Amino acid sequence: MAGLREVNGPLTRRQALQRLGLAGAAVPLVASILAACGEQETAPASAASTPAAPSTSESVEGLNRLPLPAVAPPVGGRDPQLVKVELETLEVEALIDDGVAYTFWTFNGTVPGPMIRVRQGDTVELTLKNNPNNKTPHNIDLHAVTGPGGGAKYTVVNPGGSATIRFKALNPGVYVYHCAVPPVPMHISSGMYGLIVVEPPGGLPPVDREFYVMQGDFYLDGQRGQPGRHSFSLEKCLAEQPDYVVFNGSVGSLTGERALQAKVGERVRIFFGNGGVNLTSSFHVIGEIFDRVALEAGSVWAENVQTTSVPPGGATIVEFTLEVPGDYVMVDHALGRLMKGASGVIHVEGPENPEVFEVVVPGVELHTGH
């Protein structure tokens, strides 16, 4: 399978794993998935289908991946109140892959944007500012809002401007927010999405750790993995042919030193959303079974779920208890997307648990390429 590619040829499985940040302990786990995909190079594209050249091949030295957004603290059992939220749209250049830069459009400089967390019955006063250094108008459509355009109609702001709306959080759940300025796919696919969590009265049940993860598909000019500075490709977006499908804004964003951390015996909760703009996610954690899943982040919970579907503009909550140490890889189980970046790691430390899992006779080492 043709995966992430260097300019001079296709990556081997080992190189792909390193690019994804999964080299080391997680290699045998993920390499077994990639092995079935093969390493053959795809046939050259025809002239009619060859993507446009990248906007510039200037050096990306000094650029980094975007910072990760924090998980907002639980609301708890408090009464409804007025909650003031301020978001600023920022257009920033950062790495989406090693050596590959992209101009992200963001809320507060992260992809996804900040988690907004309130309780049912709260009145939310939201101010949206558009940084004066930006070049484009932006707005916000919150799926938790009951009102025209989810607030988008009244929050269109030019660079240097601001707008404020108030809304009541009527329904508990986890909802996507995103920019809705035309062309809407361009704004969303450039990173303008996040989650707003509306907790029920009394709050959510306590857990040991909470994580915030969103999937997005990105469409760049040029070839996937081609070094340099890139811009958005409307043609690829309309054809639904993403170069990258990633968690939290970039390849390897939740791996290595940025991997999620937990301990054996802890119960974890993942707020998982799909910014899209096109692809449905089949969210799965390799080596775990979800104890509980809030289907489409609504009020109905399913138990003992292996994989859950999350549509573009949708979200879910998954909960499970960690019983065995090791690296647990989060994927979109449409596994071709693994080669486009859709992976993250939960690193679990603690004592072995042979009553649940043990190696009796190990198999051979999986060779992952050179």
Query: Quick one: CA torsion of 149, 213, 198, 318, rounded to 10 degrees?
Result: 130
C-alpha triplet 192, 196, 201: angle, nearest 5°: 175
192 annotated among ligand-binding-site residues: yes
CA 8 → CA 55, 101, 225, 327, distances in Å? 19, 19, 11, 32
Burial of 138 (0-12, 13-18, 19+ CB in 10 A): buried
Measured between alpha carbons, how far is 277 from 185 in angstroms, rounded to an integer?
6
284 annotated among ligand-binding-site residues: no
187 annotated among ligand-binding-site residues: yes
138 annotated among ligand-binding-site residues: yes
Token duo for residue 354: 């042979």
179 annotated among ligand-binding-site residues: yes
- How many of the other CB atoms lie within 10 Å of CB of 321? 13
- How many of the other CB atoms lie within 10 Å of CB of 266? 15
Query: Quick one: CA torsion of 6, 7, 9, 12, rounded to 10 degrees?
Result: 0
Pairing of strands 228-230, 209-218: unpaired
333 annotated among ligand-binding-site residues: yes
Measured between alpha carbons, how far is 350 from 290 in angstroms, rounded to an integer?
20
Q: How far is CA 273 from the centre of its chain?
A: 7
143 annotated among ligand-binding-site residues: yes
- What lies within 8 Å, CB to CB, of 70 at 6+ separation is 114, 115, 212
Binding-site residue positions for Cu cation: 138, 143, 178-179, 187, 192, 333
Binding-site residue positions: 138, 143, 178-179, 187, 192, 333
